[in-house]
Amino acid sequence: MAKQITTEDIKRIARLANINLSPEELETFTAQIGDILAYVDKLSQLDTKGAVFKSQTDLSNIFREDIVEESLSSDKATQNRPKSSKKGYIAIKSVLNK
Amino acid sequence: MQTGLYEPVIGLEIHIQSKTLSKMFCGCDARYFQSDPNTHTCPVCLGLPGALPVPNKAAINYCVKLAIALNCKINENTKFDRKNYFYPDLPKGFQISQYDSPIGHTGNMEIPSPSGNKTVRITRVHQEEDTGKSIHENGETYLDYNKSGVPLIEVVTEPDFNNKEDVTTFAKRLRQIVRYLDISNADMEKGEMRFELNISVKSSSTKELPNYKVEVKNIGSISVLEKVIELEIERQSEILESGQTPIQETRGLIDMSGKTASQRTKEAEAGYRYFPEPDIPLIELNKAYVERIKAEIIELPNEKLARYINKLNIDRDIAENIISDPETYQAFEQAISKIDNTIVPLFAKWYAVEYFSLDQAQKHNDFKLEWLTEIIKKVEQREITRTSGKEVLLASFTTGVMPDKIIEEKGLRVISDSNELESEAQRVLEGNPKAVSDYQKNPNVLMFLVGQVMKAMGGKADVKIVTEIVKSKLKSNG
Ligand SMILES: [Zn+2]
């Protein structure tokens, strides 16, 4: 039995996902996500007793050897980021403003 | 604080950086310490779209090794999961970690404690990746992703500690274990070992766990960990004393004094929305593999300590000192492999007390630890005094000259020629008639006169023989 999705649930999910929703959007998504979950809930009718968790692929144990490869240059690594007054760093608005 | 009335309930989470060459999921150099910012990055560890993480085999081996060393059960089928949260030092918006099938679980570690050995239960040992580094300055936050994606092993304990001493012992033992296993340097000054503390306080008379828990994150050293525990016990006891319950919260360090402040952040909401990492196939750790890793595990600190105490007859404190790190015990074991078993306890004592007190920076290249054996033998056979022994050790250590030669050059050989000692004692007694006549009333005079003889001999006489001689002379004089 799926739990009824409320606007509070959607608010929380939006907050965790760092998304701002307008009151209208909140309305819309509450209804839409509720419908989607109700539809997906059909899956719970399946008898999954004895089923084994399968991954997305039949592959397993794909590793790399512990070998150092060349990294990007600092210029290249930071080229699409805001310019920083501190050399080599990526600068953003302080996250300590609370 | 009202000790006895309240006691803490403490659990630990410890993060340990593995000493792999490359990062956890990409080939960037994992040895980032003191490198220029953002010079060890690639699309994978920068979290750029389309990048594919591939687990580092050595890192997995290290994590399995630690899990086995902590007596954990190994999950034959394990996987990575995404732990989702937003913070600028986490460029992907999620950390690749492990959720419901950690590499190891349900283990334990035994620690010595004043009231006998204690067992600390290990909840889990899992593999994850480190985040980048953020620096907060000039109203901005600066990011360096060199550390992003460095392999990190997380060890979680059950809330089995009820005092800070046991926490310290555990933390030190764990550091020793990872160094013995050679999977991490666990250098706290470089942030290679970090602690998270879960602490609550309860009345000593109840067995029930408290209904709240305070979490303190990002503790970078054992001494700060101790201070935080002290201050939290005090703070929480006071709240309980006033009839209230401390708030369940996450607290952050303010400074190295161990002071913390409440961190009311969004993270407290803990909606990590874990789900299986779709880019990394499952990992199977079969029995043969686990056995192979197990076979690589050498004698660990607890076993070594027991062997030193029980088989080699070394005092516990001395043994603890010698096993403290691989370099120290390796040098010791190499040196004692060439010497007689009976002298080992004495060698251990000299090694842990006298040798450790030497300034290692002054060590001469030609100095050999085996020379300490010769010095000890000479002291035991009373060829040189204990004080001379220390002098010889220091000289050999700094100059690389063999002990025998130093004893010769400095003329340190003890004078055991009783004629010479007798005549010196006679001279001293004759020179101190008052002391001699006081002897009956004041037995302390004996030590004074012995001291005078020793002084006259330049300290190079056997103090026991001198005492006997002076004593018998005083008797015959009286
Ligand atoms: Zn990388």
pLDDT at A85 exceeding the cut of 80: no
Contacts of A61 (CB under 8 A, 6+ apart): B281, B282, B283, B284
Mutate to test the interface with A, among B131, B143, B182, B269 (most CBs of A within 10 A): B143
pLDDT score recorded for residue B478? 53
Q: What is the average pLDDT across A65-73?
A: 97
Number of domains chain B is built from: 3
Question: Which of B381, B410, B439 is where one domain is finished?
Answer: B410
The CA distance from A65 to the nearest CA of chain B, in Å, is 6
> How many A from CA of B20 to the centre of ligand 1?
13
The CA distance from B390 to the nearest CA of chain A, in Å, is 47
Question: Which of B245, B274, B292 is where one domain is finished?
Answer: B292
Q: Are B210 and B188 in contact (CB under 8 A)?
A: no
Average pLDDT over all residues of chain B? 92
- Same structural domain, B251 and B377: no
Q: What is the average pLDDT across B147-170?
A: 97
In a domain, A52, yes or no: no
Chain A residues within an 8 Å CB radius of B63: none
Q: What is the average pLDDT across B332-338?
A: 92
Contacts of B435 (CB under 8 A, 6+ apart): B445, B448, B449
- Same structural domain, B198 and B234: yes
The CA distance from B19 to the nearest CA of chain A, in Å, is 11
- Same structural domain, B365 and B452: no
- Same structural domain, B147 and B219: yes
Q: Are B142 and B38 in contact (CB under 8 A)?
A: no
Please indicate whether, in this complex, the C-beta atoms of B140 and A92 are within 8 angstroms of each other: yes
Chain B residues within an 8 Å CB radius of A80: none
Q: What is the CATH number of the domain that holds B430?
A: 1.10.10.410
pLDDT score recorded for residue B268? 47
- Same structural domain, B281 and B308: no
pLDDT score recorded for residue B265? 55
Chain A residues within an 8 Å CB radius of B84: 16
Phi (first) and psi of residue B3, to 5 degrees: -65, 150
Residue pairs spanning A and B at CB distance below 8 A: 132
Chain A residues within an 8 Å CB radius of B184: none
Going by pLDDT thresholds of 50, 70 and 90, the confidence category of residue A98 is very low
- Same structural domain, B115 and B147: yes
* DSSP for residue A71: P
Q: What is the pLDDT of residues B350-390, one digit of tens each?
A: 999 999 999 999 999 999 998 999 999 999 888 888 888 99
Residues B304, B423: Cα–Cα separation, whole Å: 52
> How many A from CA of B176 to the centre of ligand 1?
29
In a domain, A84, yes or no: no
pLDDT at B346 exceeding the cut of 50: yes
Please indicate whether, in this complex, the C-beta atoms of B54 and A15 are within 8 angstroms of each other: no
Number of domains chain A is built from: 1
Please indicate whether, in this complex, the C-beta atoms of B20 and A66 are within 8 angstroms of each other: yes
Tell me which of B23-27, B158-162, B215-219, B262-266 is least confident: B262-266
In a domain, A34, yes or no: yes
Chain A residues within an 8 Å CB radius of B134: 95
pLDDT score recorded for residue A49? 87
**Nearest alpha-carbon partner for B376 in B393, B394, B400:** B393
Q: What is the pLDDT of residues B109-146, one digit of tens each?
A: 999 988 889 999 999 999 999 999 999 888 889 999 99
The CA distance from B274 to the nearest CA of chain A, in Å, is 13
pLDDT at B230 exceeding the cut of 50: yes
DSSP B1-29: --BTTEEEEEEEEEEEE---SB-SSS-SB
In a domain, A56, yes or no: no
Structure-block tokens of residue B268: 């407290």
Higher per-residue confidence, A18 vs A8:
A8
- Same structural domain, B348 and B458: no
Phi (first) and psi of residue B150, to 5 degrees: -70, 135
- Same structural domain, B82 and B222: yes
Average pLDDT over all residues of chain A? 87
- Same structural domain, B17 and B114: yes
Structure-block tokens of residue B218: 């990002």
Tell me which of A26-40, A70-84, B99-113, B450-464 is least confident: B450-464
Out of A61, A78, A98, name the one closest to residue B38 (CB).
A78
Please indicate whether, in this complex, the C-beta atoms of A94 and B58 are within 8 angstroms of each other: no
Q: Are B79 and B280 in contact (CB under 8 A)?
A: yes
On whether any CB of chain A is under 8 Å from the CB of B36, the answer is yes
pLDDT score recorded for residue B352? 95
pLDDT score recorded for residue B355? 95
pLDDT score recorded for residue B412? 83
* DSSP for residue B361: G
Higher per-residue confidence, B106 vs B418:
B106
Task: Label each residue of B415-450 as H, E or C.
Answer: ECCHHHHHHHHHHHHHHCHHHHHHCCCCCCHHHHHH
The contact set of A with B (CB < 8 A) is: 12, 15-16, 18, 55-57, 59-74, 77-78, 84-96, 98
pLDDT score recorded for residue B4? 62
Which residues numbered 64-93 in B keep a CB inside 8 Å of some CB on A? 79, 84-88
Q: What is the average pLDDT across B77-100?
A: 95
Please indicate whether, in this complex, the C-beta atoms of B281 and A62 are within 8 angstroms of each other: yes
Going by pLDDT thresholds of 50, 70 and 90, the confidence category of residue B89 is very high
pLDDT score recorded for residue B1? 43
> How many A from CA of B284 to the centre of ligand 1?
25
- Same structural domain, B186 and B330: no
Please indicate whether, in this complex, the C-beta atoms of A72 and B42 are within 8 angstroms of each other: yes
Task: Fill in the amino acid letter for B322.
Answer: I
Q: What is the pLDDT of residues A22-56, one digit of tens each?
A: 999 999 999 999 999 999 998 888 888 888 777 77
pLDDT at B2 exceeding the cut of 80: no
% of chain B residues with pLDDT over 90: 70
Out of A63, A88, A94, name the one closest to residue B54 (CB).
A63
Please state the separation of Cα B121 from the chain's center in Å.
20
> How many A from CA of B46 to the centre of ligand 1?
7
Tell me which of A10-19, B96-105, B190-199, B408-417 is least confident: B408-417
Higher per-residue confidence, B305 vs B411:
B305
Residues B302, B362: Cα–Cα separation, whole Å: 32
Cβ neighbourhood burial of A24 (10 Å; 0-12, 13-18, 19+): exposed
Q: What is the CATH number of the domain that holds A24?
A: 1.10.20
The CA distance from B38 to the nearest CA of chain A, in Å, is 5
Chain B residues within an 8 Å CB radius of A62: 54-55, 280-281
On whether any CB of chain A is under 8 Å from the CB of B282, the answer is yes
pLDDT score recorded for residue B270? 61
On whether any CB of chain A is under 8 Å from the CB of B34, the answer is no
pLDDT at B3 exceeding the cut of 60: no
% of chain B residues with pLDDT over 70: 97
Residue range of the domain that includes A17: 7-44
Mutate to test the interface with B, among A62, A90, A93, A96 (most CBs of B within 10 A): A90
- Same structural domain, B264 and B387: no
In a domain, A30, yes or no: yes
> How many A from CA of B16 to the centre of ligand 1?
19
> How many A from CA of B241 to the centre of ligand 1?
52
- Same structural domain, B405 and B450: no
Chain A residues within an 8 Å CB radius of B82: none
Residue range of the domain that includes B443: 418-477
The CA distance from B137 to the nearest CA of chain A, in Å, is 8
**ipTM score:** 0.86
